Amino acid sequence: MSRRAGDRILFLRASRDIEFVKQHGRRLSTACFNLLVCKTEGGTSRVGIIVGRRFGIAVRRNRVKRVFRELTRQVRNELTSNHALLVFPKRDALTLPFQELKGLWQTTLRRQGLLSGREV
């Protein structure tokens, strides 16, 4: 399976799925991102990344989306099943070094019970 094909399974793209998570998800807030988590019936967990225009110019919006897609890919095999996540990055996410942001991402997911114990 190519990276693109695997990404279709991993990421939320349909607006109806995103709206469902917005309406039914529980909100968490960290220094670098807000997170909405919703239990689903879909089997695999999926992640959506939402960056509005208030974030800044398109270059910054696209960069932060790339960073969070990569963070999601790195924990793909550890994600527990049956959850939908929406990530709303904050501007501080681009000021933090990638490894620190990755640590914050993994810690937040683990505290919410969204990561299994196996390390990859």
pLDDT tens-digit readout, 10-38 = 898 889 999 999 999 999 999 999 999 99
DSSP string, 17-61: HHHHHHHHPEEEE-SSEEEEEEE-SSSS-EEEE---GGG-SHHHH
DSSP letter (8 states) at residue 89: E
Instruction: Say what the pLDDT of residue 10 is.
Output: 87
- Say how many residues make up the chain: 120
Q: Which fold has domain 3-107?
A: Ribosomal Protein S5; domain 2 (3.30.230)
pTM for the predicted model, two decimal places: 0.88
- Angle CA(81)–CA(61)–CA(55) in degrees, nearest 5? 100
pLDDT tens-digit readout, 84-113 = 999 999 999 999 999 999 999 999 999 999
- Domain boundaries along the sequence of the chain: 3-107
Instruction: Answer for the pair 46, 79: CB distance below 8 angstroms, yes or no.
Output: no
